[in-house]
């Protein structure tokens, strides 16, 4: 199930005419297109409003500025990731790794993600927004995968909630960090052979950790 982007959900306490989902979709798509063509430094709210066919005031009613808008444009892409039940934890992980790799091959995803990550090194508020809008939301895939694996008996249940959160964070960091580095830094293919080898290595670590 996809989660709504913070920029797409209706602001609490705001009254008046409901927001248009079609306008939000057009704005976020226009933001990604503009990023690919112009890059972060040249992108303006005016560029986005012109491409989306909306007034600049419409943008500012939804997003305070470029940082928030671009993060939500990236988050919308990441919300496309799903975790189909393939029958085993190993198959589930391999499936989402390949999905993630396909997403990162799309110019709008690759450019937008690299832009916000680079800009966030100088902007703490932007880092926080990336964490809440993208990272924390996508951890749902790890939580779901582990719950399924525990229900199948592949992993033991964890009674300690704090330890479970720590494990979720670690698994997410390993998968997301490795795939991003492979695809965007090393510029090497993330194909079925690589995904299978990576998943086997991760499974060995997970099963080894639960055996201790």
Contacts 24+ apart (CB under 8 A), 35-39: 35/70, 35/73, 35/108, 35/111, 35/112, 35/115, 36/107, 36/108, 36/111, 36/112, 39/111, 39/115
Quote the distance between the C-alpha of residue 153 and its chain's center: 28
pLDDT at position 20 is: 77
Angle between helices 161-180 and 136-152 (to 10 degrees): 110
At CA 36, angle to CA 6 and CA 57, rounded to 5? 45
Q: What span, in angstroms and rounded, lies between the C-alpha atoms of 138 and 98?
A: 15
Tens-binned pLDDT, residue by residue, of the chain (212 aa): 444 444 444 443 444 445 678 889 999 999 999 999 999 889 999 999 999 999 999 999 999 999 999 999 999 999 999 998 999 999 999 999 999 999 999 999 999 899 899 999 999 999 999 999 999 999 999 999 999 999 999 999 988 999 999 999 999 999 999 999 999 999 999 999 999 999 999 998 776 554 44
pLDDT at position 3 is: 45
């Amino acid at each position: 199930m996809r989660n709504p982007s913070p920029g797409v959900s209706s602001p609490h306490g705001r009254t008046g005419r409901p927001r248009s989902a079609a306008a939000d979709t057009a704005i976020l798509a226009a933001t990604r297109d503009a990023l690919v063509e112009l890059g972060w430094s040249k992108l303006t709210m005016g560029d986005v409003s012109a491409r989306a066919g909306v007034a600049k005031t419409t943008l500012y009613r939804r997003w305070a500025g470029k940082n928030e808008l671009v993060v939500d444009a990236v988050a919308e892409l990441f919300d496309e990731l799903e975790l189909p039940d393939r029958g085993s934890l190993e198959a589930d992980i391999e499936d989402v790794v390949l999905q993630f790799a396909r997403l990162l091959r799309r110019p709008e995803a690759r450019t937008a993600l690299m832009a916000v990550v680079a800009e966030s090194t100088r902007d703490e508020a932007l880092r926080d927004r990336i964490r809440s809008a993208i990272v924390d939301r996508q951890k749902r895939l790890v939580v779901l995968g582990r719950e399924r694996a525990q229900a199948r008996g592949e992993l033991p249940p964890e009674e300690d909630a704090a330890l479970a959160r720590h494990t979720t964070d670690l698994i997410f960091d390993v998968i997301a960090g490795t795939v991003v580095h492979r695809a965007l830094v090393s510029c090497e293919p993330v194909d079925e052979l690589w995904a299978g080898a990576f998943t086997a290595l991760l499974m060995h670590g997970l099963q080894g950790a639960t055996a201790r």
